[in-house]
């Protein structure tokens, strides 16, 4: 399991033009933070599935929040301005936040994009890792993130609590 045990406090700008903090999600029975970005082919492969989960579980109060911590100076496609455009084009139903300082990625211990962190109602980490077991949606056999959300909603432990995240590395500042 990741080194973090509880959801980190944050106050980050979102692509919707507002600032978002951990307190905003207090009423959510499950909070999912996803380390993300605009350019990684793994993120692009999984972003539709992540969005579908937010849409499917929205009426049950879960909140998925994507966070981009990549170094935009080295990867301009991951700039805040490009995040706004990417989220608009993709039609995201979840919040997409910019961690320019990379502080949240460091606190989470993020390594990859995408990398999911599922927190229960008490904001304890109950799952960390991959969205599911295959980049190719038609070949998925195990839905780690969905299973973790279902377990957390039921107040149970997910059948799998930790998997290796699969994707591009977080692009750290030198």
Question: Which H/E stretch holds residue 13?
Answer: strand 11-13
Percent of the chain with pLDDT over 90: 96
Average pLDDT for 57-72? 98
d(CA 170, CA 159): 27
Where exactly are the structural domains of the chain? 28-169
Q: Any residues with CB less than 8 A from the CB of 23 and at least 6 apart, and which?
A: none
Average pLDDT for 147-173? 97
What pLDDT, on the 0 to 100 scale, is given for residue 174?
A: 85
What pLDDT, on the 0 to 100 scale, is given for residue 3?
A: 65
Nearest to 33 by CA among 58, 50, 55: 50
d(CA 169, CA 174): 14
Roughly how many angstroms between the first and final C-alpha of the chain, as a whole number? 27
pLDDT of 1 > 60? The answer is: no
- What angle do the packed helices 41-57 and 144-153 form, to 10 degrees? 30
- DSSP labels, 68-95: E---TTT-GGGSHHHHHHHHHHHT-SSE
d(CA 96, CA 15): 6
d(CA 78, CA 100): 10
Average pLDDT for 141-166? 97
What pLDDT, on the 0 to 100 scale, is given for residue 2?
A: 55
pLDDT of 28 > 70? The answer is: yes
- What angle do the packed helices 80-90 and 41-57 form, to 10 degrees? 60
pLDDT, tens digit, 9 for 90 and up, residues 102-128 = 999 999 999 999 999 999 999 999 999
Domain 28-169, what fold? Glutaredoxin (3.40.30)
pTM exceeds 0.85 for this model = yes
């Amino acid at each position: 399991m990741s080194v973090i045990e509880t959801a980190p406090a944050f106050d980050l700008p979102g692509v919707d033009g507002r600032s978002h903090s951990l307190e905003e999600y207090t009423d959510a029975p499950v909070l999912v933070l996803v380390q993300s970005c605009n350019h990684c082919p793994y993120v692009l492969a999984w972003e539709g599935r992540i969005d579908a989960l937010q849409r499917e579980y929205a009426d049950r109060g879960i909140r998925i929040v994507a966070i981009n911590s990549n170094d935009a100076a080295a990867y301009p496609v991951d700039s805040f301005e490009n995040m706004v455009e990417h989220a608009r084009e993709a039609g995201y139903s979840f919040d997409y936040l910019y961690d320019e300082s990379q502080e949240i990625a460091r606190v989470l211990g993020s390594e990859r994009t995408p990398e999911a962190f599922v927190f229960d109602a008490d904001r304890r980490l109950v799952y960390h890792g991959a969205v599911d077991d295959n980049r190719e949606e038609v070949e998925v056999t195990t839905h780690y993130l969905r299973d973790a959300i279902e377990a957390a909603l039921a107040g149970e432990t997910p059948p799998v609590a930790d998997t290796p995240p699969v994707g591009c590395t977080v692009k750290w500042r030198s």
